[in-house]
Chains A and B, each alone.
Chain A
Amino acid sequence: MRAALAATGRVVRAETFRLLRKRRMYVLAALWWVVLPVLVLLLARVLQVTLTGSFVEGEAVSVKTLLQGLASPFGVARVGLVAPAYLSPSPYVIAVALLAAAGLGEPRTHRMWKSTLVAEPDRRAVLAGTFLTMQAFLGVLLAGAFVFGAAFGAIGTTFLPTAAEGAWGRLAGLYLLQWAHLATLLAFASLAIFVLRNVTLGVVTTFFLPPLVEGLYAVWRATAGFEPLNRFNALFQGLELQATLEAVPRWFLSNNLYLPARTSAAPLLDEVVGTLQAVGEEAGGGPGGAQIASLLGADLTLPHAGLVMAVYGAIFVTLLVVAFLRREVA
């Protein structure tokens, strides 16, 4: 056990040495830590200039509240967590795919396994060390987003009506939870890249396979679902599986993956669900609020998402370990 830990430690040091020399790490960090907060501050300044004294300020929105929520030290740090969860493609997926490509794809591309696995024949240690290093780099990226967001927000207080107040402890906890959730995505990306033996194909799979599967489900629900009573649907209804199938989105990878980040924006999501429900009722039908919430993943809780990620993570890691231990280095 001690030898395995020592071997894992050596792999972590070697992979850290290598990944620190990858330019893409610095590009990712610069985009997340500097460009995003600067854009938020620019947007806030534009909003301040445009909205202050306008009819909007008096009628609907307090500009000061808006800027405090968006561009205060707490607000910018929160944007660093939330924005990547709502962008498409998500910077979370981009970062994870690039890290997995560097960690497990490059040794194959550059035919390095034949020397690495002789220098360290304990394949479990090699895989664990590489995975831990990639996960640690993700942690550094997220921690940097938190710290730099707060720092840029602090700079913003010099020219915006903002202050440092906010639920910092909860935000830090959500960052930590999001980082833990990303381990599952990292396992999936590593598995795809390693099993497909092709970095490009693996990255494409990481980007598109989960949304594709989930999208197909959404299309099926929207176009057919259980509404037409045919033999197929009668079978499912007879087996009392209808409710189970309708609850499938609760188990989708994407919905649960970003939940910690999206929790910060929960009030906004609730509003969207309420609006859609109202529109549906006005039109004399349409899906109910629960169904919309289900499709948007708004009915999920953090413990549920944690459980789902743990299940997915266990499956992906098991498959990855089996593939890595069995693979011959040709």
Chain B
Amino acid sequence: MRGMTVLAAHALVKRYGRALAVDHVDLHAERGEIVGFLGPNGAGKTTTLRMLAGLVRPDDGRAEILGARVPGTTLRRVGTMIEEPSFYPYLSGRANLHYAATLHGGIPAGRIDEILAFVRMTHAADKRVRAYSQGMRQRLGLARALLHRPDVLLLDEPTNGLDPVGIAEIRENLRTVARGGVTILVSSHILAEIEKLVDRVVAIQDGAVRFDGPLDDLLHRVQRRTVTLRLSATDPSALRAALADDAVRGDAQRAAGADGPGADAADGDEAVRVRVAHEGVPDLLRRLLGAGVDVTEARTEGEDLEGAYLRLLEGDGPPADAGAGPDAKTESDAGRAA
């Protein structure tokens, strides 16, 4: 059933005063697809989700669910969990679901128990929500979003506040749901949190889409990042001399734009920091050893997967990644068109 677009945003624009919160965002999701909506806090993810859910009117562009313009009756086939899930605190979890089920209408009586079991909340179903932990609220929020067997799920950071076991369980739940043909758009500001879940990624920064494509493409770009390598050797001057030699530095480090060791000396000249492309690290170490430098320590500093991903969003990646902005989108669009 893949191939049918069930969720689409066409050039969505939203301004709050002079601030441009969402800047001509295009995205789409096909039936049964799990799309990650990535971006740092304040990037425009939640505003976009709100426009897709019909809660906020776009200043320009349009949102569509199941081919019909939002807001409209097709929203009844959408399950949402936008920002922190909220409930009536004086009602129990079960009563909150009953309230939602009554609003939706036509939900069989046994469905509430079924969905509570699915999100592993049966044991706390009759407690008042005011006594719930944040993780329990997240699970109940997911239960409410799934209660009416929606065709589309819009989830805003659904694993917030969950422990690692809870995150894994929610991830498994969402995979199960997607296998049933439900389209899921799940936002997060943490790449690692959703990289094991999504098929495709739309990355947004400053309200504009910076990347739209398969997760593998994004990971590939991120992994071609540059890192800061901290090197120590028994003879620091020999290390510096070797690094000044183009033959030793090699293409990878030059590509990373490193200026040589002199500018980056650290720790009282005992250690040297150099910028080097991630995949060039083994080559560099081999060349240093080949040049007779006894490297006693080599470790990367201050740049994890998230940092690299954020730099990629900001367009601050290595030259090889320079196309990770609008170019990447164009590539993806071309792929989509094909």
Contact = CB atoms under 8 A, between A and B. Distances in A.
A106 interface: yes
Contact of A328 (B55, B73, B78, B103): B55
Contact of A111 (B54, B86, B98, B103): B86
Interface in A11-59: 11, 13-14, 17-18, 21-23
Nearest to B105: A10
B121 interface: no
A328 B144 CA distance: 22
A118 B75 contact: yes
A111 B89 CA distance: 11
Contacts of A121: 54, 71-73, 75-76
Interface residues of B, number: 33
Nearest to B78: A118
B88 A112 contact: yes
B95 interface: yes
A106 B86 CA distance: 12
Contact of A117 (B55, B89, B100): B55
Interface in A121-139: 121-122
Interface in B188-228: none
B105 A330 contact: no
Interface residues of A, number: 28
B57 interface: yes
Interface string B101-139: 011110000000000000000000000000000000000
B100 A13 contact: no
B103 A14 contact: yes
B91 A14 contact: no
Contacts of B91: 18, 21
Nearest to A10: B105
Interface in B79-95: 80, 82-91, 95
Contact of B80 (A11, A110, A118): A118
A221 interface: no
B73 A122 contact: yes
A118 B148 CA distance: 12
A277 B76 CA distance: 64
Majority DSSP secondary structure for residues of A touching B: helix
A3 B56 CA distance: 23
Nearest to A6: B105
A156 to B, nearest CB: 37
Interface string B129-164: 000000000000000100010000000000000000
A115 interface: yes
A114 B156 CA distance: 12
Interface string B239-283: 000000000000000000000000000000000000000000000
A118 B54 contact: yes
A115 B95 contact: no
B29 interface: no
Nearest to A9: B105
A118 B95 contact: no
A328 B21 CA distance: 15
A114 B84 CA distance: 11
A118 B75 CA distance: 6
Nearest to A11: B103
Given A10-B105, A106-B88, A121-B71, A115 B76 contact: no
B128 to A, nearest CB: 10
A115 B100 contact: yes
Contacts of A60: none
B50 interface: yes
B87 A114 contact: no
B55 A112 contact: no
A119 interface: yes
Of A3, A18, A118, A329, the most chain B CB neighbours within 10 A belong to A118
A243 B230 CA distance: 92
A9 to B, nearest CB: 9
B53 interface: yes
A117 B54 contact: yes
A245 B63 CA distance: 53
Nearest to B148: A119
A6 B78 CA distance: 19
Contacts of A113: 55
B19 to A, nearest CB: 13
A116 B56 CA distance: 14
Interface string A291-330: 0000000000000000000000000000000000000111
A120 interface: yes
A13 B53 contact: no
Contacts of A6: 105
B102 A17 contact: yes
Contacts of B82: 114
Contact of A119 (B50, B71, B100): B100
A294 B173 CA distance: 69
Contacts of A328: 50, 55-57
Contacts of B50: 114, 328-330
A239 to B, nearest CB: 44
A11 B103 CA distance: 6
13 contacts: A10-B105, A13-B102, A14-B103, A21-B90, A21-B91, A23-B90, A110-B88, A111-B84, A118-B54, A119-B104, A120-B104, A121-B71, A121-B73
5 tightest A-B CB contacts, nearest first: A329-B55, A14-B102, A111-B86, A121-B75, A119-B103
Interface of B: 50, 53-57, 71-73, 75-76, 78, 80, 82-91, 95, 98-100, 102-105, 144, 148
Interface of A: 3, 6, 10-11, 13-14, 17-18, 21-23, 106, 110-122, 328-330
Given A114-B80, A115-B80, A121-B72, 6 more contacts: A21-B90, A111-B84, A113-B55, A114-B82, A115-B100, A117-B55
